[in-house]
Amino acid sequence: MGQRAEHGGYDGVQYAHFIQSLSKVFDLVGSTVKMVRAAILASLLAVATGALAERRFVPGAYIFEVEDGHDPAAVAQQVVGKHGTTRMKLNYKHFKGVSVQLHDLKGAKDTAASLASAPSIKRAWPIEIHDLPDDHPSKVFNLKDWNITDAKLTKRDVMNETDTWSTHVMTQVDKLRAKGVTGKGIKLAVVDTGVDYSLAPLGGCFGAGCRVSFGYDLVGDDYTGSNEAVPDPDPMDCAGHGTHVSGIIVAKDDILHWTGAAPDVTFGMYRVFGCPAEGAADDVLIAAFNMAFEDGADVITASIGGSAGWSESAWSVAVERLVEAGVVCTLAAGNDGGRALFDASEAADGKGVTAVASFENVVSPYVGYGSTYRIDGGGDEMHFGYNVGNVYNWKSPPTAMPLYATSLDFANTRDACDPLPDSTPDLSGYLVLIHRGTCYYSVKAANALAKGAQYIMFYESAFDVALGTINVQDTNITAVGFTTARQGMAWVDAINAGRNVTVTMELPSNETVIVSGDERDGVGGCLSPYTSWGPSWDMDAKPQVGAPGGLIWSTYYQGYAVLSGTSMATPLMASVMALVLQVRGTTTPRALDNLVSSNANPQLWNDGSGFRAGALAPVPQQGAGLVQAYDAAYATTLLDPSSLSFNDTDHFVKSFDFVITNKGSSTVTYNVTHVPALTAYTMEKGTVYPKKFPPDLVDTAAKLTFSTSQITLSAGNRKIISVSAQPPEGVESKRLPVWSGYIAINGTDGTSLSLPYQGVSGSLKGTASLPAGQGWIAWSNDTKPLPNHVPDNYTFTLPAPGTATTKNRLPMLYFNLALGTRLMRVDVVPMTTCRPKNLTTDDPLGDKYKVIGEYPGFPVRWWPRGSAKMVWDGQLDSGDYAPAGKYKFLLRALRVFGDESKLADWDVVETQGFKIKYST
């Protein structure tokens, strides 16, 4: 594996590259969790601190997949018939079905179950609504703010320039660019909010011959995820997210001199969100991916999803099939890294799908006006960027001015907040440098003006922030600007060292607008703290690999933006896949995953406070590491598979085989060694719940044994090597430590590859998904993350059935899942002797209980871990209302790897008893 270092420039900034056959199943997944009546209640599944993201389902809507040989339209007419209306016909090669909106919301679950039993139906799912990840905006730059217009700018062919874009250097895209590899001949499709193709960097048009040459709007502007989609042929963006994603891939900006990573791919956009981007439903996402496939896409990418970790959802299944059919699918790992382990995102959790982690950009990009400076009057001119204030009458023609700092202490936040000392010279001929600090700009400017200052440059106090604007009230100041903290610090350091700094301020104009960036000490190149962790609940390795996603410059709706998230890392990874495809020709998604994973650079652990020397970040956080495009494209040694999972103690895999193939032209000797990563505890010490980021880490590692530690392969030959693992000793298995690391393969030809592995000490099935006591009744107006229990036998007075509002104080069920569950039930159990005869039934699981129904929307499948709050107005899943009386909720969650037919595999929690009566 070794260590690799890359160095590159980014607008004058130098930086280091840190190394270091399911049977027919009717899956009732909360089909009525969001019933229409719930819209007038407090949020049915409100998000609390550390809670799972709200799962939303379209009331009474289902996807029915048809058996082979059946026509979806005919099935929709014959089977669904009078029960509902067709939302979408999903008549695709790899997914044939229909999505339906049932008329009777109260009886939707029973109707859907009955319809699913028809011989023509293979499988059915309730329709879930998915959101964009919670990306982290830094700054949005509207073109009008900078008066950037094509007519006034000097253009040059950016494709003929050396690629020094920081994220491209980090990932070796720059090396491929130098060889003319730009994605030409590869068809890449994005599923997102659309694309503002009117922007010059994105070609200015849509259709044949345009940079955005194909695609479709599947939903229309008014789509919310739950209402009817109104498609049209034009995928114009109105939210910005899809435009940002598009620029990362395909932009060619001859004005600001940057490009996307694969600017010559044949590019398409499938819009699945409305205005604003409120959600995209399963049926729309399935349609979009399949449309892209049938339009000939080689790579499909989407930065959509949320906490899940189960690969059986409708969307995940649909994406898996396209991967099996030969199309690379990259999806965002998610931005829930604060929840740490076991939080893979849908549909990134799909088998064979490339889940993409996020790394931090090594620079903090910003847009500004360019100017220059010199040290001691000699050497090359050095460039820097700044933003103008409310006055900017710099000298014309531009003239060099000596720099004078009012304080030589970067930590002095009160710089120029008080009158400057008598020793201050006449500042009229200087560019005066002032720390932003704590008091008003106008106060600082006035104190400088008192000493004759006419030209002032403020510098930022904080790193990694976009340049703001500045306003000084005194009209006697001739010009004022604002530059970055790092630039200000560099100047202060130079003056402290006895150097003379002279600055030439260029007049702000279209000609001087630049994109630049400051080096990021301590965090550049590290894993983003928000990047979601794996593995999946089936112990599949997630994520697969990572790319830069933190502080990423790209196009945006009507302009540009700096955004952070796995949403930004994923299109860069899709671009890399396209570039590698261009170099290597036709290959399978598995082969591509093998290439990018084995050639990636595993990175050191960094919790935000700095890199930990010699300690690799866990595989469940970074997968194979930071992608290296050039090495993957031109690799002559191949590894298969892309990762190994030894599973947990109950399902421990004693050994795996992996294959090394020498595709080069000469004989190579390979050494096989073990490089462990840090072991991460899932559970917080002393609790039954996972620890938030950062998890507790230990250096204790597994021991690997290889069938051979050295092999020699002549050209064209291959060798199978077996590896067995001995889990780490001395770890606390009840806390589910996830151990991981890398098998390093180093060849005499310079080959340096790695194969990530992982395992868990302890039993996932033996760990409660729903811990004892973690479900109770609270008041609906209790907004605390951990609401209070109501007293036993407390009486709630409910409004007349169907009339509840947020003003009513209703019973609220709170529960907290420590681990995910494949199936969860919430039954309503009467506690009175005279049970409602027309409602009471035996327990569906065959246990001792008598029940009158379930909470609306239950049972649910494939639930992620986390807490939920659910308000109850007395309605049952049947649509009936519970009679007045005493009740309790019976919560049951199937454990990971549990068997639904075995009662012992279910966690059972009973709430306290409570009474309900209805107002008259």
Indicate if the pLDDT at residue 763 is higher than 90: yes
Pick the CATH number of 636-764 from 3.90.1150.200, 3.30.470.10, 3.30.1490.100, 2.60.40.10: 2.60.40.10
**pLDDT of 42 over the 60 cut:** no
- pLDDT confidence of residue 137: 59
pLDDT at residue 421 is higher than 80: yes
Max Cα-Cα span within the chain = 96
Three-class SS of residue 616?
strand
Contact 662, 639 (CB under 8 A): no
CB 574 within 8 A of CB 582: no
Beta partners for 797?
917
pLDDT tens digits for range 214-235:
999 999 999 999 899 999 999 9
Q: What CATH fold (topology level) applies to the domain 136-362+524-634?
A: Rossmann fold (3.40.50)
Question: Dihedral of CA 549/550/554/558: which sign?
Answer: positive
Helix (H, G, I), strand (E, B) or coil at 83: helix
- Reply yes or no on whether the pLDDT at 604 is more than 90: yes
pLDDT of residue 143: 54
Measured in Å, how far apart are the chain's first and last C-alpha atoms? 74
pLDDT tens by residue, 708-761 = 999 999 999 999 999 999 999 999 999 999 999 999 999 999 999 999 999 999
Task: Give the Cα-Cα-Cα angle 109, 114, 889 (nearest 5 degrees).
Answer: 35
Residues 401-419, mean pLDDT to the nearest whole number = 94
Nearest by Cα to 535 from 302, 299, 737, 688: 737
The answer to whether 336 is a known catalytic residue is no
- pLDDT of 23 over the 50 cut: no
Residue 522 identity: G
Whole-number Cα distances in Å, 656 to 263, 645, 653, 720: 40, 9, 8, 10
Radius of gyration of the chain (CA): 30
| Nearest alpha-carbon partner for 660 in 774, 576, 743 | 743
Q: What is the pLDDT of residues 471-488, one digit of tens each?
A: 787 768 899 999 988 899
Report pLDDT for 145.
55
Query: Which has more confidence, 80 or 561?
Result: 561
pLDDT of 510 reads: 62
CA 621 from chain center: how many Å? Answer: 12
Active site residue 241: yes
Q: Which is the catalytic residue, given 311, 536, 567, 752?
A: 567
Residue-wise pLDDT for 139-163, tens only, equals 666 655 544 444 333 444 555 667 8
Residues composing the chain:
920
pLDDT tops 90 at residue 659: yes
CA distances to 44, 300, 341, 889 from 881, rounded to whole Å, are 17, 46, 40, 15
CATH 3.40.50.300 is right for the domain spanning 364-514: no
Q: Which of 271, 223, 194 is closest to 87 using CA atoms?
A: 223
- Identify the pLDDT of residue 10: 25
Cα–Cα distance between 743 and 734 in angstroms, integer?
27
pLDDT tier for residue 11 given thresholds of 50, 70 and 90:
very low
Q: Residue 136: what pLDDT?
A: 65
SS (H, E, C) 321-335: HHHHCCCEEEEECCC
Domain range 25-129, its CATH number among 3.90.1150.200, 3.40.50.1980, 3.30.70.80, 3.40.50.150: 3.30.70.80
Residue in the structure block whose two tokens are 């209070």? 788
**Which amino acid is located at 799 in the chain?**
P
Taking 50 as the threshold, does the pLDDT of residue 610 lie above it?
A: yes
Task: Tell me if 626 sits within 8 A of 599, measured CB to CB.
Answer: no
Query: Tokens in use for 807?
Result: 């003003």
What percentage of residues in the chain have a pLDDT greater than 70?
A: 90
Which of these is catalytic: 27, 135, 163, 192? 192
Element (H, E) at 250: helix 241-250
> What pLDDT is recorded for position 745?
98
Residue 546 has pLDDT above 80, yes or no: yes
Select from 649, 642, 605, 600 the least CA-distant residue to 625: 600
Instruction: Give the Cα separation of 324 and 485 in Å (integer).
Output: 49
Q: How far is CA 836 from CA 574, 578, 841, in A?
A: 58, 63, 10
Q: Which of 453, 444, 441, 318 is nearest to 387 (CA)?
A: 441
Which range is least confidently modeled, 74-83, 200-209, 409-418, 591-600?
74-83
Looking at the DSSP bridge assignments, the partners of residue 123 are 25, 65
* pLDDT in the model for residue 276: 87
Q: What is the pLDDT of residue 45?
A: 23
Look at residue 379 in the predicted model and tell me its pLDDT. 76
What average pLDDT score do residues 678-695 get?
A: 96
- CA separation (Å) from 391 to 213, 387, 474, 852? 44, 11, 10, 73
Q: Is 567 designated active site?
A: yes
Please say whether the beta carbons of 722 and 707 come within 8 A: yes
Least confident of 14-18, 650-654, 793-797: 14-18
**What are 257-312's pLDDT values in tens digits?**
899 999 999 999 999 999 988 899 999 999 999 999 999 999 999 999 888 889 98
Domain-by-domain residue ranges, the chain?
Answer: 25-129, 136-362+524-634, 364-514, 636-764, 775-918
Q: How far, in Å, are 117, 448, 449 from residue 425 at the CA level?
A: 89, 11, 12
The predicted pLDDT at position 422 comes to 95
Distance (Å, whole) CA 221 – CA 205: 19
Can you give the pLDDT at residue 78? 79
Angstrom distances, CA of residue 657 to CA of 672, 692, 723: 13, 34, 6
Question: Beta partners for 401?
Answer: 503
Preceding omega of 883 cis (within 30 degrees of 0) = no
Task: Give the pLDDT score at 466.
Answer: 64
Whether 636-764 shares its CATH topology with 775-918 is answered: yes
Q: How far apart are the C-alpha atoms of 106 and 85, rounded to whole Å? A: 16
In this model, does residue 53 exceed pLDDT 50?
A: no
- Class of the CATH domain delimited by 775-918: mainly beta
In this predicted structure, the answer to whether residue 654 has a pLDDT above a threshold of 80 is yes
pLDDT > 70? residue 801: yes
pTM, to two decimals? 0.88
Question: Rounded mean pLDDT of the chain?
Answer: 88
- Per-residue pLDDT of 324-381, as tens digits, reads 999 999 999 999 999 999 999 999 999 999 999 999 999 988 878 889 999 998 778 8
pLDDT above 90 as % of the chain: 67
pLDDT band, very low/low/confident/very high, at 37 (cuts 50, 70, 90): very low
* Position with higher pLDDT, 161 vs 127: 127
Distance in angstroms (rounded) separating the CA atoms of residues 860 and 31: 8
Residue of 130, 168, 241, 244 marked active site? 241
Q: Which stretches does DSSP call E strand in 689-820?
A: 697-698, 703-706, 710-713, 718-726, 737-747, 752-760, 775-779, 794-798, 811-817
pLDDT, residue 65, reads 94
| Window from 153-157, 391-395, 913-917 with minimum mean pLDDT | 153-157
Higher pLDDT, 174 or 514: 174
